[in-house]
Amino acid sequence: MINPASRTKSIELSLIRKMFEVTNPDAINLGIGEPDFDVPENIKNAMKKSIDENDTHYTSNKGKIELREEIVKKFKNENGINTNPENIIVTAGASEGLFMCAQAFIEKGDEVLLPDPSFLSYEACVKIADGTIVPVDCTMENEFKLKADDVQEKITGKTKAIILNSPSNPTGAVMEKEDIKAIADLSMDNNFLIISDEIYEKIIYDKKHYSPAKYSDNVITLNGFSKTYAMTGLRIGYLTANEDYTEQLLKIHQYNIACANNTAQRGAYEALTGPQDEVEKMVNEFQRRRDLIVRRLNEMGYETVNAEGAFYVFPKIEDEDFVMKAAKAGVITVPGIAFGSNGANHVRMSYANSYENIEKAMDILEERVANG
């Protein structure tokens, strides 16, 4: 056997995916972070038209100009970010954008501040780039929200970047405006990069989303269409940064995938320019499910923060065997420790499943796990 590169030995396969491989395929899945809705019809039709018109060839490395122009409008009108089409790169999902950021800017000896808990891909991408993770505590007492004072305490001369994710996977936490702005100020004062993953920005309840790029030039803003428009498998995302950053990011993107999927780009253009009523319906339904799962978990004695965004809850569950017990009973969940040390004694549950299935799952947990 040929030995793998040492950098691959520093990471493990996703614990989320491992859970699906060892459980009953008929189990109720509260594990995966994927909307259970279908792509809206207008977006499907736009992609069908792309194929019918044989518009399936390479695009510009940065993406179709008409799509990038709409992304510019979106950033300006919704996020207060002033950019231009040349500083937009259309990516193969926000995941590629994250990998590009790590490869373009992180190297051995660099410290990257990471909320703890946070999405497991962040740590893996930093490790592949030989960076060093510096966790910043996001505690249940603060509703898992990243606080600027805690970030400031972790900054050193080696701090190269911080990764922000609001609303958050795995906790559903939404950062406060004052913390976003304060961290943006810190990035300028201490000359470090903010990688802001805003993929869940539209899935938010009774709160407002704020982008750090409105307050700092040292920001790469990542976003995409997977969560808002249920376009997960189409792998289409985008990012913006200043001209100097974008030039470096394009090098990674160009030699990695050349360009994002052309047909998916047509769908993305329609997503931005077409009606948004399906998005509103989806978010309203997610909120209804959030209310259900938080109430039921709290009634079972599993303390659960009333998540303000995304489609996850992160209840406190001290039973170390809970995840396996739940899986055997027919409910897939993910151990919180997969998302960082502060995830210990917590479990991530996704409510990207039908209201009826969530009711059934809660009944199973109450009858066969909580009281078992």
Q: What's the confidence (pLDDT) of residue 19?
A: 58
Using the predicted structure, report yes or no on whether residue 10 has a pLDDT greater than 80: no
Which whole number is the average pLDDT over 224-243?
98
Which whole number is the average pLDDT over 303-312?
97
Confidence band, pLDDT 50/70/90 cuts, at residue 372: low
Q: Contact, 51 vs 25, CB < 8 A? A: no
Q: What's the confidence (pLDDT) of residue 121?
A: 95
Residue 114's beta-bridge partner residues? 135
Confidence band, pLDDT 50/70/90 cuts, at residue 78: very high
Confidence band, pLDDT 50/70/90 cuts, at residue 9: confident
How many angstroms from the chain centroid is the CA of residue 337?
17
**Average per-residue pLDDT in the chain?**
95
Which whole number is the average pLDDT over 219-245?
98
Using the predicted structure, report yes or no on whether residue 14 has a pLDDT greater than 70: no
Confidence band, pLDDT 50/70/90 cuts, at residue 18: low
Q: What's the confidence (pLDDT) of residue 278?
A: 96
Which whole number is the average pLDDT over 282-302?
98
Q: Contact, 332 vs 31, CB < 8 A? A: yes
